[in-house]
Amino acid sequence: MQKGILGLLGAVVVIVLSVFFNHTQHQTTTNSSANQQSAQQNTNEDTVSNTADGKQIPVTLVSAVDGDTIKIMYNGKKETVRYLLVDTPESKKVGTCVQPYAKEAYYRNEQLVKSGKLTIEFDNGSKRDKYGRLLAYVFVNGKSVQESLLEEGYARVAYIYDPPYKYLSQFNADEKKAEDKHLKIWSRPGYVTSKGFNGCASDSGSSASDNQSNSNTTQSSSAKQQNQTGSNEYFRNCTELRKKYPNGVPSSSPAYQASMDGDHDHYACERSSR
């Protein structure tokens, strides 16, 4: 009788332990699965946050938007990239007039980003701005697009929100060179401010676009006169010039015109490398 009771109690203990063990194992499995799903969801929400800083990432250009913004294909979807630490005059901002050198900055930016292999690099801090745009350094064949725009006077250093930044010192030096040479945006006293740019391209008699147009007209007239004397060849635009010189012409050529040398490299109407 006593043995029977002990046997029954033993069986009950075994059953209780078995039920407790199975419940614990099921709970552990459930928690593990939930954690995996949560991790996967976070990865899908923002793959940018898992991108290592300081490494250039190959991307595909979709289009240039303006002087400091492009659209690219990144991680399988179209993204807008706002250039870190630089600002160019506005040409498409709602409620803002077209500012002097805005179109020139856009054309130069487009020329740069179409000229070779495009890569981007993230810095520390936020990878996106309040509009959802990627914030990045942009390179073509390893050369900084931001540096080119600053050195050539198309952009100013701006939006230093979350220092330190990897290239800030270099960008400041590039900007100083352009300012000292009074290039483009720095050629108009008071035009560049700590908050942006003053004035519109339609300002009477003093816009950069008008000045550029007047300069081109003068150069064209001069070229026509030289052509009449036989010392120079005159072409109305790069399309006409390339019919005779498919790859453009150097400054030593009689067909060279400064108005067709947009990047001021002493070579007019060259085709961008792809």
Q: SS3 breakdown of the chain: % helix, strand, coil, rounded to 5? A: 40, 20, 40
82 is catalytic: yes
Q: Is residue 38 scored above 70 in pLDDT? A: no
Q: Judging by beta carbons within 10 Å of its beta carbon (0-12, 13-18, 19+), is residue 178 exposed, middle or buried?
A: buried
Average pLDDT (86-99) is 89
Tell me the pLDDT tens digit for each residue of 212-247. 444 444 444 444 444 444 457 888 888 888 888 887
**Are the C-beta atoms of 158 and 86 separated by less than 8 Å?**
yes
For residue 132 the two structure tokens come to 């959802």
Q: Is residue 7 scored above 70 in pLDDT? A: no
What is the CATH topology of the domain spanning 57-197? OB fold (Dihydrolipoamide Acetyltransferase, E2P) (2.40.50)
Which of 45, 79, 90, 151 is labelled catalytic? 90
Query: Are β-strands 69-74 and 143-144 bridged in parallel, bridged antiparallel, or unpaired?
Result: unpaired
Tell me the pLDDT tens digit for each residue of 155-203. 999 999 989 999 999 999 999 999 999 999 999 999 999 999 999 986 4
Q: Residue ranges per domain, the chain? A: 57-197, 220-268
Q: Report how far residue 200's alpha carbon sits from residue 90's, in angstroms, rounded to the nearest whole number.
A: 9
Which of 82, 108, 156, 188 is labelled catalytic? 82
Per-residue pLDDT band for 256 (boundaries 50, 70, 90) equals confident
133 is catalytic: yes
Query: How high is the mean pLDDT of the chain?
Result: 79
Q: Report how far residue 120's alpha carbon sits from residue 68's, in angstroms, rounded to the nearest whole number.
A: 13
- At 112 the pLDDT is 98
Which of the two residues, 15 and 60, has the higher pLDDT score?
Answer: 60
CB within 8 A of 100, min separation 6: which ones? 89, 185, 188, 191, 197, 199, 200, 201, 203, 207, 208, 209
Which of 128, 133, 179, 233 is labelled catalytic? 133
Q: Which helix (H) or strand (E) holds 25?
A: helix 2-45
What is the phi/psi pair of residue 244, to 5°? -100, -35
Tell me the pLDDT tens digit for each residue of 107-165. 999 999 999 999 999 999 899 999 999 999 999 999 999 999 999 999 999 999 989 99
